[in-house]
Amino acid sequence: MSCELKQKERVGTINPIFTCQPAGAQYVSIGVKDCIGIVHGGQGCVMFVRLLISQHLKESFEIASSSLHEDAAVFGALSRVEAAVDVLLMRYPHVKVIPIITTCSTEVIGDDVDGVVIKLNEGLLQEKYAGREVHLIPIHTPSFVGSMVSGYDVAVRDFVRYFARKDKTSVKINLITGWVNPGDVTALKHLLTEMQIEANVLFEIESFDSPLMPDGNSVSYGNTTIDDLTQTGNALGTIALNRYEGGKAAAFLEKEFDIPAIIGPTPIGIRNTDTFLQNLKKMTGKSIPESLVRERGIAIDALTDLTHLFFADKKVAIYGNPDLVIGLSEFCLDLEMKPVLLLLGDDNISYPDDPRIQALKEKVDYEMEIITNADFWELENRIKNEGLELDLILGHSKGRFIAIDNDIPMVRVGFPTYDRAGLYRHPIVGYAGAIWLAEEITNTLFTDMEHKHNKEWILNVW
């Protein structure tokens, strides 16, 4: 009876859990103010990623393509990067930051994106855009390496590496949120405010829960500024909440500027939020106020209504971004549930070194599997052909048919969650997130009991 970590045995992917690296870099790029990324590759690499993110956020935003066509694939496509930068700058006068995000095609043909950036800096920008602040940032995200998760991690590091400067001391900390929702950023900033801590937040995507105003504004933008990014080099310390989505940037700042880094834990659930607040206290010397004690108390109160009555021994499968999956599994364990299957959709070789995974391996006292490089077939095949019985699935919308066809209650969490309304608005981190998650799970289980007539009368008195 133990927890086993293993890689998927098949070589192929039947229903992928993740998309590829450039998507992660694109999600980062929309968090930066006055920034429009150029994805150097075929048009689909942008068009579909924009569609995906817009389905999730129910918003639009801008990302450009270098529009690689046949001739460029044969003869090299750097001239198309040059043209794209020029066209963007001409038509979007507010744009100051242009990450140039590579893809599999342009990495295979070996386009020297770093070289063309130097050329543009010395040529076009001097000649045509003299006096205009423009930052071109090459970001290498070949699709055949890693996944959207590592693409996110690489892009955060590259933004930070490009901008960070150390020229003064600051009381601010860096908070690198990882791949989260607007609602999570709001919840995290609320915790900082309560503790009177100022932070450079990477990335300020709260504004993607944007209003429809009487005067008709048009496009949602991220709000992390060039100054925020520059100031990361002066910060008191860095807290990267997600090891795999921002950890690289934190490590860079520590190495380059001696800025102390705390990586993790993802503040999902009470315990991990407690640790996050302790880390904030340790880093800044600020105390944890009574207001948060009370907030925590409200969460504990809510959870106490649910745990031993409804959650105990419920078997759960969880898939998605690694920090999310691990955080959710820890929270589930605290709620007396039994995560029996965790699916991580890429082949990051450092998973076995993750102390959280090691803790699961050492301490879980029932059969649990953690599959890396996983696809959805790892879940579906176990249910359909190997007798896996589940009470709950936690994961994003792409796995929806497994839940639907096997009639297993599912709570949408992670990215993307396009088949449920408004989830980007609700936090899963912090005490507020703990309440929301637990109650969403509960209500989903209740609906399922009623739908299946499975002891639905139990709710006559509660």
Partner 1 sequence: MPYHEFECSKCIPERKQHAVIKGPGEDLTHALPLGHLNTIPGSISERGCAYCGAKHVIGTPMKDVIHLSHGPTGCTYDTWQTKRYISDNDNFQLKYTFASDVKEKHIVFGAEKVLKQNIIEAFKAFPDIKRMTIYQTCATALIGDDVDAIAEEVMEEMPEVDIFVCNSPGFAGPSQSGGHHKINIAWIKKKVGTVEPKITSDYVINYVGEYNIQGDQEVMLDYFKRMGVQVLSTFTGNGSYDELRGMHRAHLNVLECARSAEYICNELKVKYGIPRLDIEGFGFEPLSSSLRKIGLFFGIEERAQAIIDEETARWKPELDWYKERLKGKKVCLWPGGSKLWHWAHVIHEEMGVEVVSVYTKFGHQGDMEKGIARCEEGALAVDDPNELEGLEAMMTLKPDVIFTGKRPGEVAKKIRVPYLNAHAYHNGPYKGYEGWVRFARDIYNAIYSPIHQLAHLDISKDEIPAGAGFQTAKMLSDLNLSEEVVSSSTLRQYTGKYDSVSSLRTKTYPEFKKKERSE
φ, ψ (nearest 5 deg) of residue 343: -115, 120
> From the CB of residue 405, how many other CB atoms can be counted at a distance below 10 Å?
11
CB 319 to partner 1: min, Å: 13
Structure tokens at 97: 């930051």
410 by DSSP, 3-state: which? strand
Q: Name the residue nearer to partner 1 (CB basis): 86 or 194.
A: 86
Q: How far is the CB of 100 from partner 1 (least distance, A)?
A: 11
| Cα gap 97→100, rounded to integer Å | 10
Q: Looking at the DSSP assignment, which residues form a beta bridge with residue 97?
A: 35, 135
CB nearer to partner 1: give 219 or 293. 219
The token pair at 98 is 């242009």
Neighbours of 362 (CB within 10 A): 9
Amino acid identity of 168?
A: K
- The residue (of 10 and 294) whose beta carbon lies closer to partner 1 is 10
Beta carbon of residue 245, minimum distance to partner 1 (angstroms, whole number): 17
How far, in Å, CA of 124 to CA of 266, rounded?
Answer: 43
Angle ∠(125,131,137) on CA atoms, nearest 5: 45
In this complex, which beta carbon is closest to partner 1, that of residue 108 or of residue 459? 108
CB of 39 to partner 1, least distance (A): 10
- The distance of closest approach from Cβ of residue 25 to partner 1 in the complex, given in angstroms and rounded to an integer, is 12
Query: Which one, 47 or 459, has the nearer CB to partner 1?
Result: 47
Distance of alpha carbon 173 from alpha carbon 175, whole angstroms = 6
Query: Is the peptide bond preceding residue 265 cis, with omega within 30 degrees of 0?
Result: yes
Taking the complex as a whole, how short is the minimal distance between the CB of residue 362 and partner 1, in angstroms?
Answer: 30
**Distance, CA of 181 to CA of 325 (rounded, Å):** 15
- Give the span between the Cα atoms of 137 and 148, in whole angstroms: 19
Q: What angle do CA 117, 221, 208 make, to 5 degrees?
A: 135
Give the separation between CA 156 and CA 171, rounded to whole angstroms. 22
Round to whole Å and give the CA distance between 112 and 117.
Answer: 9
The two tokens of residue 325 are 């999956």
Least distance in angstroms from the C-beta of 16 to partner 1: 4
Q: Minimum distance between the CB of residue 313 and partner 1, rounded to whole angstroms?
A: 30
Residue closer to partner 1 (CB basis): 1 or 213? 213
Neighbours of 227 (CB within 10 A): 10
Write the CB contacts of 325 (distance below 8 Å, at least 6 apart in sequence): 318, 319, 342, 343, 344
In this complex, which beta carbon is closest to partner 1, that of residue 145 or of residue 288?
Answer: 145
Distance CA 93, CA 34 (A): 9
Q: Which is nearer to partner 1, 14 or 171 (CB)?
A: 14
- Using the minimum distance from each CB to partner 1, give the nearer residue, 6 or 255: 6
- C-beta of 184 vs 378, nearer to partner 1: 378
